[in-house]
Structure 1
């Protein structure tokens, strides 16, 4: 059987358990980040979706080793990657750990997805009813950008082919050009370091309202967090650049802070965050 899906078709927004048995929708992988939402960039991110025969297949092992080499580049390109096999989550978890892979491995044990898109392999004996090794490159909306039939290994995408696919998708983003970030509304949230060059300004010196609260959480990987205001208003978003200083700044959850409030088109954000001793 060969998939009926074609380039520009809509890939189904399937939901499958990952290697930790957490239900995962494809649209959750491609949606825009919290920072993007506050900046007004709602395009989301592309997804490379790879169907595997399984851990036992030497061709799959080779493709996965290539993707392990590629995963750091995907991270800085804000592209997403996921694999799907019919193995249970525990098997996927072991395979993933052995590869040192950091992307989700989804489990289609019931074969519902591989049947839905018509890629069930019925030719094998010992390892029957596996997925045919297809790779789909999906746009943020899950529209198909490219399809690779990997029955023979040469049919699987090279890293350079994937780069070209991703470049084509990313170039269409509203924020692909420098000018999108050099916008006053964006600079209020993602604050240029030069604003702290001559020292930390007093809260309120900018004319913005000042509030106090405590750090609800801060994600060091993404550089974003939330502040719980003392006045019990909704939590307020912040980017690490809202903490005066140079380089990459972090802050611990629970720390008491004073900050300025920016009311933007896409919600409240904090700037000039200063720890209260």
Structure 2
């Protein structure tokens, strides 16, 4: 059961249709967020790639039920997971919905990626011309960290195996430590709560701009403001809204804001709706 790729080698940045038929590249799951770019972090995030025989395989069904319990943990630890099979997009969508899965199901109906990785099963039986059940754990640059051979079910990774792999990778990333966020640069954009407490009663005037919230992602807490006075949309983190706890703001809201300049560009602070 030869596999072309080994740890240390680079995984192909494939582009395949997801369960909704949208073409997506693998690297889109590992890239930095817009906030990371503002903070000055250069590293992205690891991704787990599971090659599945298909919806009809009882061992795949068991593995995916296990992974389903892991998907919410992946969300909060900023890592990604995708699966690839030769199933059509329609079948993948139905299988995904039935499982209650949230991760991306890629369809490689032409077996292009499966062949490129040399993991096409050419034995007789119901699994002929399907992918061998391999799992790859990849670093943000798509370098292979670990390969799991699931020909026998015991060869597939447990959740604890995956946790350990992700921990090893992320401990090497530039954003992993507390100290990486506890810097003057980052705290100009991701503003500590204490800043607003200390500014109560501070009437020092700064140049203020008016604009409209062009977008705000409630999941990430990041958004952009469009102002007639400025050429480009201005990035802001929810912490730029004075207050306590997690703050949100609606798209289209009219706001006053000030600008802060960092070595990665301008960001908005003191974002206040009016």
TM-score per shorter chain, which class? over 0.9
Alpha-carbon deviations, 1:23-42, whole Å to 9, x = none? Answer: 11111110011111110112
- Corresponding residue for residue 118 of structure 1: 118
Q: Deviations over 1:76-126 (max 9, x none)?
A: 111110000011111111111111111110010100000001000111434
Aligned equivalent of 1:107: 107
CA contact (8 A) 1:242 1:273 kept: yes
Does the CA contact (< 8 Å) of 1:200 and 1:244 recur in 2? no
The CA deviation string for residues 143-182 of structure 1, in whole angstroms up to 9 with x for no partner, is 0000000010100001111111101110011121111111
What is the TM-score with the length of structure 1 in the denominator? 0.95
Aligned to 1:259: 257
1:11 aligns with 2:11: yes
Pick closer, same or farther for the CA change 1:200–1:90 going to 2, 3 Å: farther
How many Å apart are 1:127 and its aligned residue? 4.3
| 3-state SS, counterpart of residue 187 of structure 1 | helix
Q: Distance in 1 between matches of 2:250 and 2:201?
A: 22
CA distance in 2, matches of 1:129, 1:4: 18
Unmatched 5+ residue regions in structure 2? Answer: none
Q: Counterpart in 2 of 1:181?
A: 181
Which residue in the other structure is 1:71 paired with? 71
Give the secondary structure class of the aligned counterpart of 2:69. Answer: helix
Aligned to 1:219: 217
1:214 touches 1:230 (CA, 8 Å); kept in 2? no
Q: 1:250 aligns with which of 248, 257, 260?
A: 248
Kindly indicate whether residue 196 of structure 2 is the aligned counterpart of residue 205 of structure 1: no
Normalising by the residue count of structure 2, what TM-score does the alignment of the two structures yield?
0.96
How do 1:184-195 residues align onto structure 2 when only pairs under 5 Å count?
Answer: 184-195=184-195
Indicate the SS of the match to 2:98.
helix
For 2:55, the equivalent position in structure 1 comes to 55
CA distance in 1, matches of 2:43, 2:201: 34
Structure 1 residue runs without a partner (length 5+): none
TM-fit CA distance, 1:211: 1.3
Aligned positions, number: 274
Distance 1:229 1:13 in 2: 37
Deviation per CA, 1:212-261, whole angstroms, max 9, x where unpaired? 10000101111111100122510011111111111111100111001111
* RMSD across aligned positions (CA): 1.5
